Amino acid sequence: MGVFVDGELYIIERIKNLIIRNGENFLVSALEEQLAQILDISHEHIAVFESNIHDPGSEIVVLVERHSPIAEQDIDAVLIAMPKEAFPINRVLLCKSREIPRTTSGKKRHFYCRKMYQHNEIKFQQAIEVSPQKIMQAMVRAGEPDTPPA
């Protein structure tokens, strides 16, 4: 993918790193940046990938390298910080440092992340399910003012 600026083509992202959900395009790098801000870590420690590129309804998984799991009381804060609309993440897996596969030049290997996920080879410390229901439950537990009454 690229963009023309003043007659020059600038490459933004590989087309393979594009996720399409409900007719909306999501750049993997943009999702990784957004999650990095939410989790307050570098985007280099986050890999976003589809669990099955041939199934348009497959899970979108996030692999996050962290030194330690997120405390139970902080999971709600993470869920509440997730954007409420047009954010296609289904599962966040927290793993130890250097679990995200990389090329010799240090680039993330999203394809290999998917392969590892499909074969249950990712050694994760913690899994966080992300859904509108989970986010709403977290908001209710936190007493968020804009949550509808249960």
Whole-number average pLDDT of the chain: 87
Higher pLDDT, 137 or 144: 137
Q: Is 49 exposed, middle or buried (0-12, 13-18, 19+ CB in 10 A)?
A: buried
Do 58 and 51 contact (CB within 8 A), yes or no?
Answer: yes
How high is the pLDDT of residue 130? 92
Q: Which residue has the tokens 């902080």?
A: 74
Nearest to 47 by CA among 113, 97, 96, 105: 113
Determine the average pLDDT of the residues in 129-141.
89
For residue 30, the surrounding DSSP H or E stretch is helix 28-39
DSSP state of 28: H
Determine the average pLDDT of the residues in 45-71.
92
Count the neighbouring beta carbons within 10 Å of the beta carbon of residue 143. 7
Q: Please tell me the pTM assigned to this model.
A: 0.83
Q: Where are the domains of the chain?
A: 30-142
For the domain covering 30-142, report its CATH number: 3.30.300.30
Q: Identity (one letter) of the amino acid at 12?
A: I
For residue 36, the surrounding DSSP H or E stretch is helix 28-39
Do 58 and 52 contact (CB within 8 A), yes or no?
Answer: yes
